[in-house]
Amino acid sequence: MKYQIKGGAFPVVECIVDANETMITEGGSMVWMSPNMQMETTGTGGFGRLFSGENIFQNLYTARGGQGMIAFGSSFPGKIVAVDVSQGDWIVQKSAFLASEQTVQLSVHFRKKAMSGLFSGEGFIMQKLSGMGTAFVEIDGELIEYYLNAGQQLIVDTGNVAGFEASVAMDVVPVKGLKNKLLGGEGLFNTVLTGPGRIWLQTMPISSVASAIIPYIPTSGS
């Protein structure tokens, strides 16, 4: 599979696949394709995806009778980033997966400290990318990448965590101080990432955008 990422604020990734080569994607991600790309919907997502709020059904697109072309588009202003999971597993936010080669394995990743995760909202349930091949991930807004050395930490607002290498440890901790929690406007929890490994942060998580526009949406009767 060869690919090219095109576009600006609403990018697409255009993939050229060989005969009988298959791409897997979430429903609604395909934006255009050559006529010889054959679609099949599968329910291989499993119970874990259902529990996480994701659709258990995914679409397989296979090139029949020769080389094919298929493009996948982002659902929110930002970037599309390619991840070679052959070099190591990645953990990404649950809505980040866009598409991948069929050899990439997609599974649900739960934080070990379940109770703190349940109350932290975002970040409790994430997705793990493993296996072989290339996956494509959606980033909300701009992508900022850091490399954390062993033991080095970074505190991040939970919604801004786009993904990280599986070697990075993640914990969700409460904001200290009752006044900070109630009046600080930064939420009740933060995410602590501990190296070693690369981390991806996103500058405009969709949850923050939604919170910002809610006050401007007219309510019924107003």
pLDDT tier at 208, thresholds 50, 70, 90: low
52 alpha-carbon distance from chain centroid: 13
Q: Is residue 221 part of a domain?
A: no
pLDDT at 23: 97
Q: Is residue 205 part of a domain?
A: yes
Residue 155 has pLDDT above 60, yes or no: yes
pLDDT at 114: 45
Q: How far apart are CA 105 and CA 129, in angstroms?
A: 6
Per-residue pLDDT tens digits for 27-52: 889 999 999 999 999 875 554 555 54
Q: Is residue 133 part of a domain?
A: yes
DSSP for 137-159, written as a single string: EEEES-EEEEEEPTT-EEEE-GG
Residue 138 has pLDDT above 90, yes or no: yes
Residue with tokens 């930490």: 153
Give the ranges where the chain is alpha helix by DSSP (H).
46-51, 114-120, 178-183, 206-213
**Rounded average pLDDT over 59-78:** 95
Q: Is residue 80 part of a domain?
A: yes
Residue 183 has pLDDT above 50, yes or no: no
Cis upstream peptide for 196 (omega within 30°): yes
**Rounded average pLDDT over 121-137:** 83
* Amino acid code (one letter) for 47: F
**Overall number of domains in the chain:** 1
Q: Is residue 134 part of a domain?
A: yes
pLDDT at 101: 96
Q: How far apart are CA 214 and CA 153, in angstroms?
A: 33
Residue 71 has pLDDT above 80, yes or no: yes
Q: Is residue 222 part of a domain?
A: no
pLDDT at 78: 93
Residue 147 has pLDDT above 50, yes or no: yes
Could you tell me what percent of the chain has a pLDDT over 90?
A: 56
Residue 188 has pLDDT above 70, yes or no: no
Residue 181 has pLDDT above 50, yes or no: no
Its domain, for residue 61, covers 2-216
Q: Is residue 79 part of a domain?
A: yes
CATH number at residue 70: 3.60.160.10
Give Rg (Cα) of the chain.
19
Q: Is residue 8 part of a domain?
A: yes
pLDDT at 20: 97
Q: How far apart are CA 29 and CA 72, in angstroms?
A: 5
Task: Decide: pTM greater than 0.95.
Answer: no
Of the segments 89-103, 105-119, 175-189, which one has the largest average pLDDT value?
89-103
Q: How far apart are CA 154 and CA 157, in angstroms?
A: 10
